[in-house]
Amino acid sequence: MKLRKVTINGKTYYEEIKDGDNVIDPEVVDNRKSQRIKYDSEEDSSSKKSSETMFSKENLKRDWNEFVSSMKGLGTKISKKVKRTTKDWFQDSPATEDTTNRLLKILPYMDKDDIHGIAKRILKNDKEFKDVDYAAIMPFMTKKDCDAIFLKTLKDGDTISIKMVHFVSPDCLSILVDRYVCGKCPDLDIDALYPFLNSADVKKLFYYELKKNKHKR
Amino acid sequence: MIDFVEVGNKIAKLRREFKLSQEELADQLYITRQALSKWENGTSIPSIDSLLELCKIFSISFEEMLCLQEDSEIDPDNIFSGHNRSYVIEQIISRKIKVDIPNVLYQMSPAERLVVLKAIKAGEIEIDDEEELFCKLTNSEMRFLTGGNLYEVEKSNN
């Protein structure tokens, strides 16, 4: 008995080759799900006809059009998902991930205007950015925005992270010291600020404090 | 920026020179011994008033107390040894100390690396060998530094 190997949808079958079989290739591969090709010469003409119908131009064209329209639908779904993800930055992120980490994932890919938009929202006390570690996101911001966020932190009485100070302009700190020694910012927590000052500003500050202490006596 | 690790070492050194225990010095300053200990190991910072009191006790100027007139010595194999980390980073980006950045980058934390890279991006620090730097960066650091424009970086190499 001779057997012929037939592969349909990745599965291998073996069929008996009978005399008179009209077979061109000993191995037949068909990836269509519901089809099984028969090359048995004793097959009746109706089944032969059905395979001819299946592979007819019209059916192939119809199947192709269905495939194309399903791809279009998928493309629309993907583009909607991408738009939503970039617009509502945190909507698709897991709830357990904190705001700073979520921001850090997307900041490298954002343009300057978007990053400036984040700075503006922080300055307006947007709730969404309430718990953000400003020092972590400052590397991506302009000096102007960094200075503004630093001054806001001082004004709110929040802890100044030493990491923040690297991104604040020396001019910003100098201006603060000048205002302090002129008596314009009496509520400024200068003890928190002085470790970050340059030598010139430290000297200015300490001379001012020495003078103040002399007057106290 | 003030290097409070150096300031702490100075306080400890002067205290020993004046033969004072931590408790005795803390009593003179109306603080706890633990607070003084934190000052000496650089983990916390004395207030301005406390510093001025220390200057009086040890009869030195505040410039000497804060080591403002001293040059920092940095060991290239361990740039943070004996110094406050933020102080060292600040000295690097303000070009007060010169280090071979590509070869010391591994000693920095990711946040410190970003500080240095931002200074490089802004043109505040110059790198002799850009290629040597690029091969030490992560993909996101590279993107941060070049803005994704590797072509522009290659152009500047020519």
- A119-139 pLDDT, tens digit each: 999 999 888 888 888 888 888
Q: In chain A, which residues have their Cβ closer than 8 Å to the Cβ of B2?
A: 194-195, 197, 202
Same domain, A158 and A99: yes
Alpha-carbon distances, residue B81 vs B3, B9, B13, B88 (angstroms): 12, 13, 18, 10
**Chain A to chain B Cβ contacts (< 8 Å):** 57
Same domain, A161 and A151: yes
Calpha distance A132→B25 (Å, rounded): 40
C-alpha closest to that of A185 among A154, A211, A210, A147 = A154
pLDDT at A133: 85
pLDDT at A1: 60
**Quick check: A163 and B66 CB within 8 A?**
no
Residues of chain B short of pLDDT 50, as ranges, are 150-158
Calpha distance B64→B55 (Å, rounded): 9
Q: Is the pLDDT of residue A68 over 80?
A: no
Alpha-carbon distances, residue A174 vs A47, A132, A192 (angstroms): 92, 26, 15
Predicted ipTM of the assembly: 0.73
| Number of domains observed in the structure of chain A | 4
How much of chain A, in percent, has pLDDT values that exceed 90?
Answer: 5
Same domain, B91 and B122: yes
A83 pLDDT tier (thresholds 50, 70, 90) = very low
Same domain, A135 and A184: no
| Number of domains observed in the structure of chain B | 2
C-alpha closest to that of B94 among B67, B115, B80, B74 = B115
pLDDT at B83: 86
Same domain, A100 and A63: no
A160 φ/ψ angles, rounded to the nearest 5 degrees: -85, 120
Same domain, A162 and A206: no
Structural domain range at position A3: 1-53
pTM above 0.90, yes or no: no
Same domain, B104 and B151: yes
Across the range A31-56, mean pLDDT stands at 51
Same domain, A41 and A65: no
* Mutation target among A162, A171, A216 for the B interface, most CBs of B within 10 A: A162
